[in-house]
Amino acid sequence: MKSFLTIGEPLIVFSSEDLNAELMDAKHFKKYLAGAELNVAVGVSRLGIESRYITAIGNDPLGQSIKREVEQNGIHTNYIETNNDYWTGFYLKQRVDKGDPDIFYYRKNSAASHYNTDSLEKIDFENVGLIHCSGIMAAISENGYRSVEKLMDMANDREIVTTYDPNIRPQLWLDKQEMKQKLNYLASKAVIVMPGIHEGEQLVGTDDPEDIADFYLNQSSITQAVVIKAGPSGAYLKVRGEQLQLIDGYRVENVVDTVGAGDGFAVGMISGLLEDIGIKNAVKRACAIGALAVQDAGDSDGYPTRMELDKFMGVNNG
């Protein structure tokens, strides 16, 4: 099987353990590994697929902790650079029993935001089967944006499948129009685009799944499929030349934390595509891992092993 490659900013999240307390009032926090693209790499690796992660960390305790945990998760670290001049980013996350938690970033001017795009020339693409990119790395700095753009161009030049999640983080953008233009431009370089339905509303101006799908299919000949995440309802899939269809999702009773669900969805898509199970089955798997992700407090702690995934999908008629 071919390997997986992604680029992003790694973070440490200090997650509050004080239920429904405002961040300013919370006193008890637990430390977790975080960062959208790293979450995806963790999940893909957990399913037994060789994974590599491109980034830069600071020469500090948080950076050292991240590199150690990346290694412990079976992800190759040969493309992780250490920058002595900048710190590793982190953030605080609220714990809530309903809705999305508040978060607060400490990531401006981080080591990853100063990643050198020239370092991409060192990447060995020989056995890479899929490259995943997100709008978060593109949002943290001009360096981050150029790195994502260049990596996607390199992938397309080599006919490597690319998946792309806009992963809107409004806090990281100074201008909403620039956000919309840049995130949609990057989407035009992806073979498979995976926005959430509310992200589609912000980037395309509509929450209609067919209109969102058609926008991305029409803006680029590279894009061959659009998958629109719709929460517990599942996901809408439109493959070029085919009709839009809804792939049913999984409903769970105990939602602990919604952060990481979208990255879990990407894990399912990517692993399914690399294993060549067909795009519809990949979307179904994506829905399953997204459902598992919301039942755990850590951003990636709920991502399953192969046995856990098979059991969950089997019990729930996946």
| Sign of the four-CA dihedral 180, 183, 187, 192 | negative
Residue 16 CA to its chain's centroid (Å) = 22
Q: Using CA atoms, how far apart are residues 173 and 191, in angstroms rounded to an integer?
A: 25
At 185, the amino acid letter reads Y
Q: Using CA atoms, how far apart are residues 250 and 188, in angstroms rounded to an integer?
A: 30
Our answer to whether residue 263 is catalytic in this structure is yes
- Determine phi and psi for 32, rounding to 5 degrees: -135, 160
Partner residues linked to 51 by β-bridges: 4
| Sign of the four-CA dihedral 75, 78, 80, 82 | positive
Q: Using CA atoms, how far apart are residues 259 and 261, in angstroms rounded to an integer?
A: 6
**Six-digit token pair at 6?**
């992604």
Neighbours of 315 (CB within 10 A): 8
CB 246 within 8 A of CB 266: no
Selected catalytic residue, list 165, 257, 263, 299? 263
Q: Using CA atoms, how far apart are residues 229 and 234, in angstroms rounded to an integer?
A: 7
Among candidate residues 128, 144, 168, the one with its CA nearest the CA of residue 9? 144
Beta strands at 161-165 and 192-193: parallel, antiparallel or unpaired: parallel
CB 32 within 8 A of CB 13: yes
Which residues are designated catalytic?
263
